[in-house]
Amino acid sequence: MNKLIDREVDALIQVGEKLSAEAASSPSSLGNDKIQELLSMTARGGQIITRLYGRDSQYFEIYQAATKTAHFTMMHSNYYQHVSNLVGLFKGIKHDLSSGMLLNMKSLLQAEIFADFLEMAEHLLDEGYKDASAVILGAVLEDSLRKVADAHGIATVGSKGQPLTIDPLNVAICKAGIYGPLVQKQVTSRANLRNDAAHGHLGDYDEAQVKQMLLFVQKFCADYLK
């Protein structure tokens, strides 16, 4: 997916630079075919910025400022700064992709999301809802394993395209040496507790075990989601 986005950003930069160069040497406004290229570039770029950074980002703020330029579709030697601004914006996205900055930002966002779910699980446990807490913790653990596998190039889907569950992910990650057999056993134990909660075997574990699960998942996320 990153490669596809990278290629699209490269294409947008190429279109923008071409339009800027043509506008800079044109005494009169560029024609309809160039306006269509500008609008296509702008729409495609807006989709990328919205999906990668969101509407509250500085990228989107700069994008909006450029697109709200008066007589936006006009491009000639004395009026093409808005096109150059868009090119600069796309080059910023290109830098984020090539430097890994975007990946780092997404990792931070994922960490915040996990922290929210862990806080929810802890609150439910404190309020006496051990079963709901165990289910949430199991979901966080499973998604954490998937993130660890992705980060180390380990498959997260089976031969038929189905997402792998905790057990096969746990085995594959341990086999790759990311963590040892002790952690593997601990993950298996917590996965069994989550399964008991999800399938209504509510008497097979107690609140203290869910508390231990909470502490384990918190430590697991801190140790392996970096």
What's the distance, CA 175 to chain centroid? 26
Q: What is the mean pLDDT of residues 13-39?
A: 96
* Crossing angle for the helix pair 2-24 and 32-53, to the nearest 10 degrees: 140
Residue 226 has a pLDDT of 67
Q: What is the pTM of this model?
A: 0.52
pLDDT, tens only, 57-81: 888 999 999 999 999 999 999 999 9
As to burial, measured by CB atoms within 10 angstroms (0-12 exposed, 13-18 middle, 19+ buried), residue 75 is: buried
Count CB-CB contacts under 10 A for residue 218.
17
pLDDT, tens only, 164-220: 999 999 999 999 999 999 999 999 999 999 999 988 898 999 999 999 999 999 899
Residue 43 has a pLDDT of 95
pLDDT, tens only, 90-145: 999 898 888 766 655 455 445 555 567 788 888 888 889 999 999 989 988 998 89
What's the distance, CA 214 to chain centroid? 24
| 48 in Cβ contact with 93 (< 8 Å) | yes
**φ/ψ bin of 146: left (φ > 0), alpha (ψ from -120 to 50), beta (otherwise):** alpha
Phi, psi for residue 157 in degrees, rounded to 5: -130, 155
